[in-house]
Structure 1
Amino acid sequence: MKRKYIYILILALSLNSCEFSINTNKSPKSEKVGLGKMPKVESKTYENIYIADEILCKEQKLPLTRFAIEYPNGLDVSKPKNGSEHIGIKKKANGIIIEDISIGNTTIVISTQKNSLELIENLVADFKRQNPKMETISISKKKFNGEMTYLFEGKFDFSGYKEHGYDGIYKAIFLIPIPKKNEKINAVIISFLANEQSEIKEFSDFYKKGVIGNIYKTFRYLE
């Protein structure tokens, strides 16, 4: 049961509910339309940069999107494989994950952003069925890193999950940042986890403390 729950927690953000799913097997004509001219992208903060574009999304059968995020050396990084989440970045201490930021998929665009809260509510409901002790603090639209954002705040108890790399009480945030200009770019869903060993002590710390807070500041849609 523990194994199943951890698996769901890590991967669920990469799965779309049927209501928001799309057909990614686009015709050559629609694929040619793409997302417009690709802006110049370069790493400005860290040594590494992950770039999602039309080519990657098509290869990995992911909803069409375009974004970049930077990260430093010395972290555990997983990249997309067979239609899974875009990227997961973990900071460990003594073999335990103390901070985790992952980017998954949605098919929400600017015109359908009102569906963001419903998607988050459905995702949280799935987690709750797997772990009734999961604590929901809030599901709302509130300011995060200076911008109004659809997000979930809650807590997970992973005490005794050391074999999976997790241990302790984790604060969690799931959020859906919305593109500002390009209607064709699908928004992503970003998850944050931090346990008691992290510098992140409050939900307001997620975008200004810890490694994942600084990593998130480099995230941007390529519009």
Structure 2
Amino acid sequence: MYETRYENPRNRGTLPRGPSHLHHVLTALKVGREDHFRQALRVSPQTFDKLVARLEKDPVFFNDSNQPQLPVELQVAVALYRFGHDGNAASMQSVANWAGLGKGTVHLYTRRVMTAVLRPSFMQEAVRMPTAAEKEKAKRWVHTHSCKAWRNGWCFVDGTLVPLDERPTWYGPSYFDRKCNYSLNIQARRIPPAVHSSNSFSGR
């Protein structure tokens, strides 16, 4: 039996796809259940719309083919869902099942979104230090809404852990966190909401 098993055809047929949960998230949940939308994509509907509006003009989402790409909204949603999960839930097959797409399409959409996000023009707009005027406005907000002695504290700092799929090859033990995972520790700075830039992608 084992001598001839490699001679058997390996084609198991096409994998049947179930209904796409992606469209349900972008239609029903986005309008009626913001909490479930945020649970799926890790951003609010307002932030999602701002991000799509900023990315949809990037050249990576245009081609000369007779077969047009799917809307940028769908591609960004697939990438965000993948970024917002880890372990088995972030596998190509799991994301493909959720979106009703092929694994190769999930990989392609993720690459396109990351190509657009890593453009220098986008990075300079989305990730930048506040101007002197914005700092001063933030200090006034802190002086009014918090302890007056903290006036010079013009930004908020918070941290989060981003789990890694596996232990890094270089300096692996350094990535082991208090939750017994290998992860990256990211700290984000944010100025008070009253002085938030109109270019910010933070939905309120």
| Larger proportion of strand | 1
Q: TM-score normalised by the shorter chain: which range applies?
A: under 0.3
Give the number of the structure whose alpha-carbon radius of gyration is greater: 2
TM-score scaled by length of structure 1: 0.23
Q: Which has the higher contact order (CA 8 A, sep 6+)?
A: 1
| Larger proportion of helix | 2
TM-score scaled by length of structure 2: 0.24
